[in-house]
Amino acid sequence: MAKRSKSKATSVQTTSATQKSSKKSSSVSAKKSRAKSEPISADDPLRLRVRSALALDAESGTLLYEKDADKQIAPASLTKILTLYIVQEAIEQGKLSPDDQVRVSSRAANASGSVMDLYTGERVSVRELMKGMAIASANDGCVAIAEHMAGDVDSFVRIMNRKARTLGMLRTTFKTPNGLPADGQVTTARDMAKLARAYLKRFPQALEMHATRNYFHNRRNHQNANRLLGEFEGADGLKTGFVNASGYNIIATAKRGDKRIIAVTLGSTSSGIRKRETSRLLETAFVQVGKPATGLAQAKAPQAVAANDDEEILPSRDERPEAQGGGLVGRQNKPSQPVLQVPAKGRYTIQDSSYRSAENARARQECLRATGVPARVVATRGEDKWYRVLIGRYTSVQEAEATRRKLAQDYGLANTIIVQ
């Protein structure tokens, strides 16, 4: 469980009165003035379960919320937004074409963590590499484009750091083009918000890639890890990331009417908590700018969430966007048959098995995924914890039963049950 930060998160609108006056009466008056325009108070009723967070209006840059926004944390795959920025800038300047063919080196093909399954000697277009990076969080794609553009990875990283300084990212240092773990590679929520705002302002067309939920390359389906897509009203980007040093990170963006919000949360303890806390932050920001959720998506005013969750989704080893250890080695196991397509929404699910040990549950999850069954591991609440291996989410028992029969007939899984 993430520890609550000792420092308070605040909405920031500095007034000249608080800067120039040291008198108590002036300070009180200034506070009352700010309170009228700041729905989030200094007491921070959101109490986000993240290490760092920030939200702003994408158009004006107005800061709507921050919590430890200058704390330095490993960026993980959020790094890829700067890599994509540099690629699209080169295209805009005529130095690169989306149709240019990139030859994949053995170093790129052997990248660890999330990949788009490039192989040594393959020739792939810049356009496909961009999709792979944006949608599949392709670490191999980042290495391939870095080598193509700069000759080698180290030279490309130097370009990244120069660009970061140009964008005002003064507390960020990059060591890799993809966010794989590296000593000294750090960023802040504020710097990532600056990057996201500049990226979307200059390359708004990039959202078409970032809003895409699936990407196919080399006969494999790669899913976008951004679980806000299709579930949070107006969400259409931007990038998730995970490494052990940081926890679960995200740069999220959503648009309602003429208002676009950029929200950054760093250091969630699970992908489920990342989704929930970022949703709360986005909704609060939209309420501030007068664009609350509408229709069936109407949200109540965000409330503090209890420390314990009913369920917490655990990452599998091959699900982590960045493999630990930092080496550009290793591969994900490919399924032995086509991946079973299952729905992702609903109150019912199929349980394959349950374990006392998280390690055993993950091992079972990997076995299922190796045969094409997209399983997930979920931990129950409380001290008497079980780790359940689940498949899909379904809106009805009938829908779940149809999948359960298919699992028995095509995948040899005859002992699954339907649960809520």
CB 91 within 8 A of CB 126: yes
CB 134 within 8 A of CB 206: yes
| Dihedral sign (CA 175, 66, 81, 268) | positive
| Catalytic status, residue 80 | yes
CB 48 within 8 A of CB 276: no
CB 124 within 8 A of CB 182: no
Give the whole-angstrom CA distance, residue 239 versus residue 40: 26
- For residue 380, which amino acid is it? T
Cis peptide before 238 (omega within 30 of 0): yes
CB 399 within 8 A of CB 346: yes
Give the whole-angstrom CA distance, residue 236 versus residue 339: 25
**What is the number of residues in the chain?**
420
3-state DSSP assignment of residue 54: strand
Q: Of the residues 52, 137, 279, 316, which is catalytic?
A: 137
CA distances from 146 to 7, 85, 93, 126 (A): 39, 12, 17, 11
Q: Other C-beta atoms within 10 Å of 38: how many?
A: 17
| Catalytic status, residue 77 | yes
Q: Of the residues 77, 246, 270, 353, which is catalytic?
A: 77
Two structure tokens written together for 119 = 């192989």
Report the chain's C-alpha Rg in angstroms: 22
Q: Of the residues 52, 67, 71, 80, which is catalytic?
A: 80
User: Helix, strand, coil proportions of the chain in percent (round to 5)?
Assistant: 35, 20, 45
Active site residue ranges: 77, 80, 137
